[in-house]
Amino acid sequence: MNAGTAESAHRVLGLTDAEHALIVEKLGREPNGVELAVFSLLWSEHCAYKHSKRLLARLPVEGPHLLMGPGENAGAVDVGDGLAVAFKVESHNHPSAVEPFQGAATGVGDILRDVFAVGARPIAILDSLRFGELSSPRSRYLLDGAVAGIGHYGNSIGVATVGGEVYFEGPYEQNCLVNAMCLGVAPKERLIRSAAAGAGNLLVLMGARTGRDGIGGASVLASAELGEDDAAKRPSVQIGDPFEEKKLLECCLELLDLGTLASLQDLGAAGLSSSAAEMASKGEVGIDLDVSAVPLRTEGMEAFEIMVSESQERMLCVIEPARWPELEAVCSRWEVRATVIGEVTTTRRLRVFDHRVGTGGDALVGDMPVSALVDDCPLYDLASSRPDGQIYPPPPRVLESEAPQEVLPALLGSPNLSSRRPLFEQYDCLVGSRTVRRPEQCDAAVLQLVPDGAAAGIAVSIDGNGRRVACDPYTGTVEAVLECTSNLACAGAEPLGLTNCLNFGNPEKAHVAWQLERSVAGMADALTALGVPVVGGNVSLYNESGDGPIYPTPVVGMVGSLPAGDRVPGIGFADEGHLVALVSPRGFSASLPGSELAKLHGEALPDGLPEIDIEAVRECIDLVRAAARSGGIATAHDVAEGGLAVALAECCLAGGIGASVVLPEPESSLAALFGEGVGRFVVAGPRPGILALGERAAPIGTVGGQSFELNGACKWGLGELREASGGLASAFG
């Protein structure tokens, strides 16, 4: 293993001197090359969460619908009728910053495998993307490549991409974020865990051959800051093949239906090293693994390369020896390669053999206690402190006016608010015949549990606003959780569980550690108040360059249940004469600092956001959810980025019909029109249904015409607003 001198090899692989000393203590000797490579990856930030694991213990992980929680490939919740929904979100940030197409494509492939690894058929993909300003050539290159990669993999494998979000902010210029979420459906009895069991059972590798692509990929790239030599890291980015994965997916699900598999595990970051060690750890067993049996794409690979390769489209399973012919027959029918590469033991050790080397003996090239690899990685307490001043420079001023007549079109045309149609039209959102609400038709994606079947459905949303979290990590994260819950409420969905991806800078820096600590605290408090558990997730740290860290970006994905998936309000106003109302929490006051308008005006981020009354917001969420379920409203849209005026304009554009709105005097200020906060909703429908909502829903106007009139002072034609909202389309030419 060519990793430097014996004295410095561990440093080259990202291990500190103290960590190397601990490894020596655990082994009772110096590690050899194979062992050092395995330890370096399993003790990396990406695999071990050594700077965040203690923080994550604050998050609630229990709930009445929970079937599988953190620790499995994906979490799962009970949605009734004997069905489970499995879901998870993960990052592929650093690989996408190096090679955006393959980085994003393999991010989709990774998250799909996480879902079918627990026995669920993937039915939908969502993505959460962050890039530098759209005017930057680098950001356009990364955006184009990442969107193309997501579309290529999802469209090719036949899983609908039903929703997502994208933001453009300066701090993401060097470190884009590509977070992918997947959800799948399974009969509850088909769910399977990854714990290996049964001494003498066979360890079987299924899927693609193993190559040098991906060696040191996700696990290494995600555990260090990016620098000027990013181009040299391109060979570390995995290469995806969605058609190979489709065969692997169908093969695994058939084997699960037959009851052939005792356990199943995705091969993701750190490849065979992490998959085998984690399976052994969960099952409290040992594993003997023979790298000479692993089918290779590249001849001449060393043992350590085979162990740490992150080649895609591979799964690891455990079966009883008697079921090998059955597995072999199913794999042959699906044209999926299956190879016995080891067995389960009682040793509680991961032993690696290579029978290609030497003569006679066992050719043992690695022998490590499983507990040392998985359970004994050192965990670090963060040394945090609040920054003395603002660490992010103010954005350039691109709008001078404060006149609402000019501000609204400018906001609709800003890259963060304009229509995402040029992006989502590259994705197939209908494949699988489950999609009830397409992108931009509802605040949450809505799917049927059974294609063309029962009315029951699910809603799913993914949210996060890094700029708001940068203003106030605690309150900004509370907003993200409540925003995601609000999106589900607009579809009438009750939240069942949440998955998260915590994207932050270098946690060894005090101000980043403070951001991470406050953000996790905000998420824990919001979820506890809502009674929603975390089912699993991902942490992505070291997202920074010489220019500084990214905005702290906790991304949350939430799944909710619907009693009637075919009867869901839309974003758009529906009919002439419908009454428009504003649902607002008691004591709510919109704020301009930290808003999208403040960005256009070139204002620096404020030091804090207004405190949120979570219970008051929850009352509004519950009210809107109940109204959506009752059928009493035709339109439901939460007020988010850009404020109330933008939300009203979006309702007009989505429905192709105008509205005349008059706000109460205190609600007519610039802050009231364009300020931001969480908990407000625009609803519309027949007068009886709106009036039935009570005092929290204040009537403010009527649907009708081909223009949006506001307070009798401003008026915009729908054509004007539609042209303004095409800012992203204009950028794509």
**Mean pLDDT of the 697-722 span:** 95
Residue 220 · residue 287 · CB < 8 Å: no
Cα separation, 31 vs 178, whole angstroms = 35
Let me know if residue 588 belongs to a domain.
no
User: Which has the higher per-residue pLDDT, 352 or 356?
Assistant: 352
DSSP class per residue in 151-169: HHHHHHHT-EEEEEEEEE-
- Say yes or no to pLDDT of 358 above 90: no
Between 278-287, 450-459, 611-620, the lowest mean confidence (pLDDT) is in 450-459
Which has the minimum average pLDDT: 229-243, 585-599, 639-653?
A: 229-243
The pTM score is 0.93
SS3 content of the chain, % helix, strand, coil (to 5): 35, 25, 40
The per-residue pLDDT for 201 is 98
Closest CA to 693 of 579, 616, 576, 612: 579
- Lowest average pLDDT, out of 113-122, 490-499, 657-666, goes to 657-666
Please report whether residue 366 resides in a domain.
yes
pLDDT tens-place string over residues 326-339: 999 999 999 999 99
Among residues 339, 562, 323, 558, the alpha carbon closest in space to that of 463 is found at 558
**pLDDT confidence bin for 538, thresholds 50/70/90:** very high
Please identify every residue annotated as catalytic: 46, 92
Task: Determine what percent of the chain is predicted with pLDDT higher than 90.
Answer: 81
In a domain, 340, yes or no: yes
pLDDT on residue 226: 46
Give 543-592 pLDDT, tens digit per residue: 998 889 999 999 999 999 998 766 799 999 999 999 999 999 998 988 99
Residue 281 belongs to domain with CATH number: 3.90.650.10
Residue appearing with tokens 């993937």 = 122
Confidence at residue 234, expressed as pLDDT on a 0 to 100 scale: 40
Q: Which helix (H) or strand (E) holds 596?
A: helix 596-600
Domain that holds residue 213: 15-48+192-377
**What tens digit of pLDDT does each residue of 43-100 get?**
998 899 999 999 999 999 999 999 999 999 999 999 998 999 999 999 999 999 999 9
Is the residue at 237 inside a domain?
yes
Q: Looking at 17-26, 256-265, 492-501, 561-570, which range is the least confident one?
A: 561-570
Cα dihedral 649→654→659→663 (10° resolution): -40
For residue 437, the 8-state DSSP code is: E
Q: Is residue 217 predicted with pLDDT exceeding 50?
A: no
* Structure-block tokens of residue 54: 């203690």
Amino acid at the residue 620: C
Q: Are 107 and 241 contacting, i.e. CB atoms less than 8 angstroms apart?
A: no
Confidence of residue 730 (pLDDT cuts 50, 70, 90): low
Average pLDDT, the chain: 91
Residue 293: inside a domain, yes or no? yes
Read off the pLDDT band of 360 (50, 70, 90).
low
Asked, for residue 326, whether it belongs to a domain, the answer is yes
**Would you state the pLDDT for residue 232?**
42
Residue 235's pLDDT is: 47
Phi-psi region at 156: left, alpha or beta (left = phi > 0; alpha = psi -120 to 50): alpha
| Mean pLDDT for the stretch of residues 145-154 | 95
Above 90 in pLDDT, residue 315? Answer: yes
- Give me the percent of the chain exceeding a pLDDT of 70: 93
Residues 466-475, mean pLDDT to the nearest whole number: 97
Confidence of residue 298 (pLDDT cuts 50, 70, 90): confident
CB atoms within 10 A of CB 117: 28
DSSP track, 105-152: HHHHHHHHHHHHTTTPEEEEEEEEEEES-TT-HHHHHHHHHHHHHHHH
State the Cα–Cα distance between residues 344 and 331, nearest whole angstrom: 21
Beta bridge partners of 503: 540, 553
Predicted confidence band at 219 (pLDDT cuts at 50, 70, 90)?
very low
Place of tokens 């270098």: 506
Q: H-helix or E-strand containing 544?
A: strand 544-545
Return the closest-CA partner of residue 721 out of 412, 296, 399, 311: 412
Residue among 228, 174, 233 nearest 548 (CA): 174
Q: What is the pLDDT of residue 455?
A: 62
* 9 pLDDT higher than 90: no
pLDDT of residue 309: 93
Q: Is 433 a residue whose pLDDT tops 90? A: no
Q: What is the DSSP string of 608-644?
A: ------HHHHHHHHHHHHHHHHHT--SEEEE--TTHH
**Strand runs labelled E in 45-159:** 66-68, 75-80, 83-91, 121-131
pLDDT exceeds cutoff 70 at 725: yes
Residue 510 belongs to a domain: no
367 in a domain, yes or no?
A: yes
User: What's the confidence (pLDDT) of residue 589?
Assistant: 85
Lowest-pLDDT range of 17-21, 185-189, 214-218, 623-627: 214-218
The predicted pLDDT at position 236 comes to 59
pLDDT exceeds 90 at position 394: yes
- Structurally, the chain folds into a number of domains equal to 1
Q: What is the mean pLDDT of residues 257-261?
A: 96
- The answer on pLDDT for 668 being more than 70 is no
